[in-house]
C-alpha cells in the first residue's frame, strides 16, 4: 500500500539498543493530483493510492509570516498541545542516528476515539536559500505500547516544505498520507484528512504570527 510512494524502511526492533534509518520521505513524482477545495490563500489536492481507498492529501498555501517564524512554529513540538488542533499529548522519546528524533503523539479528534502513533521526524534546513523541509514516518516500535481505548495508527507519513518569498512571506506545501484506523468509513476519513489541513494551517500561521511580534 505505502510502498507505491515510500521507499523501503530499515526497521530495527529495540529502542534501547537500536536506531532506525530511513531515506527521505516525500510524495511520489507525478501530476495526477485533483483539486479538492480552496480557502483563502490555500488549496488542497488529493491523489488516489492504488490498493487502498485512503487518498494522499497535499495543501499548497501562502502564509503571511516570515519563513523563519513559520519554521519555528512547526518545530515547537513540545508545545503542540497548546496550539495545534486535536493534539492531546506529545512525548519526545529520543534521538535517531540520522539526526532526527522519535516523537509520540496522541490526538483527540471530534466524534471518534483517541488515536496515537510514534513518528520519526527529520529536519533539513538551508538558511542561506530560505528553504526548510521536514518529513516524518510511522515508527511505533520506538514509542510506548498500545493503550486500551486508544486506536494505534499504523500509517502516518508526511512532510512540510517551506520557502521564503521576496515579500517576506512563506510558500508552504504540506503533504500527508495517513489512515485514521478504527471503523471510520474511507469517505469520512478522506474528508476529515482534507478539512483537517486547513485547521493545521490556521494554527501554524497564528503561532508564527505570535512569534514574529
Question: Which CATH number does the domain housing residue 186 bear?
Answer: 3.30.530.20
The pLDDT of residue 2: 39
Lowest mean pLDDT, pick from 15-29, 94-108, 110-124, 166-180: 15-29
Residue partners of 35: CB distance under 8 A and separation at least 6? 43, 44, 45
* Number of Cα atoms under 13 Å in the Cβ half of residue 152: 12
Residue ranges of E strands in the chain = 34-39, 42-47, 56-63, 87-95, 101-107, 115-126, 131-138, 151-152, 156-164, 170-178
pTM above 0.75, yes or no: yes
* CA 24/CA 137 separation, integer angstroms: 10
Total domains, the chain: 1
Q: For residue 139, give its domain range.
A: 2-212
Q: How far is CA 192 from the centre of its chain?
A: 14
The pLDDT of residue 15: 35
Q: How far is CA 40 from the centre of its chain?
A: 21
Average pLDDT of the segment spanning 69-80: 96
pLDDT band of residue 13 (cuts 50, 70, 90) is very low
The pLDDT of residue 207: 96
Average pLDDT of the segment spanning 162-179: 94
Are 170 and 42 in contact by the 8 Å Cβ rule? The answer is no
Are 206 and 177 in contact by the 8 Å Cβ rule? The answer is no
Amino acid at each position: 500500500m505505502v510502498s507505491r510512494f515510500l521507499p523501503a524502511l530499515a526497521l530495527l526492533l529495540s529502542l534501547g539498543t537500536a536506531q532506525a534509518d530511513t531515506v527521505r520521505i516525500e510524495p511520489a513524482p507525478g501530476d495526477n493530483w485533483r483539486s479538492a477545495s480552496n480557502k483563502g490563500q490555500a488549496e488542497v489536492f488529493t491523489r488516489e493510492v492504488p490498493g487502498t481507498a485512503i487518498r494522499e492529501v497535499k495543501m499548497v498555501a501562502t502564509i503571511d509570516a516570515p519563513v523563519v517564524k513559520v519554521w519555528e512554529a512547526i518545530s515547537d513540538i513540545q508545545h503542540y498541545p497548546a496550539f495545534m488542533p486535536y493534539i492531546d499529548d506529545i512525548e519526545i522519546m529520543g534521538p535517531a542516528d540520522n539526526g532526527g528524533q522519535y516523537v509520540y503523539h496522541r490526538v483527540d479528534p471530534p466524534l471518534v476515539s483517541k488515536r496515537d502513533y510514534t513518528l520519526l521526524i527529520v529536519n533539513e534546513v538551508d538558511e542561506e536559500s530560505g528553504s526548510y523541509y521536514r518529513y516524518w514516518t510511522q515508527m511505533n516500535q520506538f514509542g510506548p505500547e498500545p493503550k486500551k481505548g486508544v486506536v494505534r495508527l499504523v500509517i502516518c507519513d508526511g512532510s512540510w516544505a517551506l520557502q521564503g518569498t521576496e515579500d517576506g512571506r512563506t510558500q508552504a506545501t504540506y503533504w500527508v498520507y495517513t489512515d485514521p484506523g478504527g471503523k471510520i468509513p474511507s469517505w469520512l476519513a478522506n474528508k476529515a484528512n482534507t478539512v483537517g489541513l486547513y485547521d493545521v494551517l490556521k494554527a501554524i500561521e497564528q503561532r508564527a504570527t505570535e512569534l514574529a511580534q
